[in-house]
Structure 1
């Protein structure tokens, strides 16, 4: 919006950049779950077979 002075947009832009960088850094370092590796066949031995 051109009627607003750039001094009002500068803190909003800096806040957006810091919030975006904080979000990306937290998503990089915090792993909410581990991807299950299904390549190990010994874990699937105890599961019953449902095939008829």
Structure 2
């Protein structure tokens, strides 16, 4: 039973990584399309912009 749970967890982790990579690919494609259409990027302010780790 434990081995089955480990396999399921590994598959879930692998699936989430693949999904994240696919999302990043789609975001890059959309940015390229927007650039070709002449749509400028609007950057919304975020609380993460003021993160202390961004030196």
Runs of 4+ in 1 over 4 A off after TM superposition: none
Within the alignment, does 1:35 sit opposite 2:53 as a pair? no
Partner of 1:8: 8
Q: Deviations over 1:9-39 (max 9, x none)?
A: 0110111011000000100111374118xxx
Which protein has the larger Cα radius of gyration, Structure 1 or Structure 2? 1
- Structure number with the bigger relative contact order (C-alpha 8 A, sep ≥ 6) is 2
Using structure 1 for the length normalisation, give the TM-score: 0.50
Question: Could you list the runs of 5+ residues in structure 2 that have no partner in the other structure?
Answer: 42-55
Using structure 2 for the length normalisation, give the TM-score: 0.48
How many aligned residue pairs are there? Answer: 33
Question: Could you list the runs of 5+ residues in structure 1 that have no partner in the other structure?
Answer: 37-52
Structure 2 CA distance for aligned equivalents of residues 5 and 19 of structure 1: 21
Alpha-carbon RMSD across the aligned residues, in angstroms, is 2.3
